[in-house]
Amino acid sequence: MVAQNAQLVTPVPGPSSQALQARRTQAVSKAVGTVLPVYVDEASGGILRDVDGNQLIDFASGIAVTSVGNSDPRVVARVTEQVQRFTHTCFMVSAYEGYVEVCEQLNELTPGDHEKRSALFNSGAEAVENAVKIARYATGRQAVVAFDHAYHGRTNLTMALTAKSMPYKAGFAPFAGEIYRVPMAYPYRWPTGAENCADEAFETFVSQVHTQVGEERTAAVILEPIQGEGGFIVPAPGFVAKVAHWCRDNGIVFIADEVQTGFCRTGDWFASEHEQVVPDLVTTGKAIAGGLPLAGVTGRAELMDAVHAGGLGGTYGGNPLACAAALGAIETMRADDLTARAARLGETLRNRLTQLADKYEVIGDVRGRGLMQAVELVSDRATKTPDPAATAAVTAACHKAGLLTLTCGTFGNVFRFLPPLVIGEDLLDEGLSIFENALAGVA
């Protein structure tokens, strides 16, 4: 366990990290980026210790993965026990209990009390691809509708679903066909004002699907209940529920991509719950397994069971170590009531960000739920002109001061907060002070 205090003993990155970075450039493809090239030695709770002995505050959680903290003791115990018994059989070759138990947990925890089934995969993108395969198979339809600012992955089909060109899509065409894009109910940037956003965005959605796609050709609508990479955009209240109901009325599968929002992050087990939305299919990943690669699709039994036997699968999907990790992570989420903790710490975070917005003009918007919050930085509040340069400068200052943070957003101007849900309140506070100093330096 790494002590839960921040401390810098060298500049960031320090000499040992720099030496590894030099080795890396000779060995690792340049195409794989790294936000902050410190090399991690050990991590737990809200602290990452690097190879130079610096202890950084973690406001990233490996992009919303280590919600239960890094190397959570229950995850470690379950994985250690499992790795000594067996490491792999391939669930399609011979089965094991862990896979079944994770699916039982997913069926119980995801929204709705209807009969459900689940299937397990390796990554969020793979889960999304499989959700689309299931929806197409079950409906016999082909078209899939996705939203502006959406992020669903980097594989061919999920690149097509993802909205942003650079860095995700540029140079990688051709993309999968039968994907259609519609506007997102983005309150801060809705042309006629946030108060009109939900209704107008819903009308536009219905009209565009009707005129440009055709309801009877549409297999699925896929939506992140809070958009992640696209800018932590919380859809205008009521919008997600309206879309979900409309899908139900039109025989269209409503897929909630909860890869980033799922597993307690937003103060609920799943972000869909906030508006009592019950998706037909839910994709999960990231936080599900405390850092081991695992993802899932969970949904209505009649959809999930529609596909012919052997139609879905993969060598590693639901690997026994990843399943053991998931059972440990879920146990911690239940035992430590991490939904309540995310909601409570989220309020602290939100209050602090709102105060900062009163003080610093550069903050155009504060938004999010639970411990998934962000500020959108603008160079002019009246025109809402995105300020990616200020966002990069604040980020660099945070990194230098030992706070690991991430940005996001279609315009690169959103500063996001994704600490582990188990982070200590003192660390959260300390991190926010670093952020404020960075902001003050730039503003």
Taking the C-alpha atoms of residue 438 and residue 398, their distance in angstroms, rounded to an integer, is 6
* Residue 63 engages ligand PLZ in binding (rule: CB under 6 A): yes
Residue 405 DSSP code:
-
Contacts of 341 (CB under 8 A, 6+ apart): 264, 421, 422
Select the residue interacting with ligand PLZ from 224, 273, 331, 376 (CB under 6 A).
224
Q: What are phi and psi of 40, to 5 degrees?
A: -85, 140
Report CA-CA distances (Å) from 294 to 123, 169, 285, 309, 438. Answer: 6, 24, 6, 21, 35
* Residue 124 engages ligand PLZ in binding (rule: CB under 6 A): yes
Taking the C-alpha atoms of residue 201 and residue 197, their distance in angstroms, rounded to an integer, is 6
Contacts of 258 (CB under 8 A, 6+ apart): 224, 225, 270, 271, 272, 282, 283, 284
CB of 255 to ligand PLZ, least distance (A): 11
In this structure, are residues 49 and 41 in contact, taking their beta carbons and an 8 Å threshold?
Answer: yes
* Residue 36 engages ligand PLZ in binding (rule: CB under 6 A): no
Residue 221 or 427 with smaller CB distance to ligand PLZ? 221
* Residue 259 engages ligand PLZ in binding (rule: CB under 6 A): yes
Strand segments (E) across 183-242: 218-223
Helix (H, G, I), strand (E, B) or coil at 228: coil
* Residue 317 engages ligand PLZ in binding (rule: CB under 6 A): no
Choose among 32, 70, 43: nearest CA to 422.
70
Select the residue interacting with ligand PLZ from 78, 152, 265, 369 (CB under 6 A).
152
Select the residue interacting with ligand PLZ from 14, 153, 291, 317 (CB under 6 A).
153
Choose among 395, 441, 440, 429: nearest CA to 35.
395
Residue 128 or 330 with smaller CB distance to ligand PLZ? 128
Binding piece for ligand PLZ, criterion CB under 6 A, among 145-153, 300-308, 418-426, 429-437: 145-153
In this structure, are residues 107 and 116 in contact, taking their beta carbons and an 8 Å threshold?
Answer: yes
* Residue 131 engages ligand PLZ in binding (rule: CB under 6 A): no
CB of 48 to ligand PLZ, least distance (A): 18
The residues with which 117 forms a beta bridge, in sequence order, are 299
* Residue 228 engages ligand PLZ in binding (rule: CB under 6 A): yes
Helix-, strand-, coil-residue percentages of the chain, each rounded to 5: 40, 20, 40
The length of the chain in residues reads 443
Residues 270-289 that bind ligand PLZ (CB under 6 A): 285
* Residue 125 engages ligand PLZ in binding (rule: CB under 6 A): yes
**Pairing relation of β-strands 281-284 and 295-300?**
antiparallel
CB of 230 to ligand PLZ, least distance (A): 9
Helix (H, G, I), strand (E, B) or coil at 256: strand
Binding piece for ligand PLZ, criterion CB under 6 A, among 12-20, 52-60, 146-154, 174-182: 146-154
Binding to ligand PLZ by CB under 6 A, coded x per residue (else -) over 171-210, reads ----------------------------------------
Residue 59 or 200 with smaller CB distance to ligand PLZ? 59
Residue 150 or 252 with smaller CB distance to ligand PLZ? 150
Binding piece for ligand PLZ, criterion CB under 6 A, among 135-143, 257-265, 332-340, 435-443: 257-265
Which residue, judged by CB position, is nearest to ligand PLZ in the bound state?
A: 124
H/E stretch holding 393: helix 388-400
In this structure, are residues 48 and 63 in contact, taking their beta carbons and an 8 Å threshold?
Answer: no
Select the residue interacting with ligand PLZ from 260, 266, 272, 339 (CB under 6 A).
260
* Residue 221 engages ligand PLZ in binding (rule: CB under 6 A): no
Binding piece for ligand PLZ, criterion CB under 6 A, among 179-187, 223-231, 330-338, 362-370: 223-231
Q: How many helices (H) and strands (E) in the chain?
A: 13, 16
CB of 132 to ligand PLZ, least distance (A): 12
CB of 126 to ligand PLZ, least distance (A): 7
CB of 33 to ligand PLZ, least distance (A): 8
Q: Which residues bind to ligand PLZ, rule: CB under 6 A?
A: 63, 123-125, 128, 151-154, 224, 228-229, 257, 259-260, 285
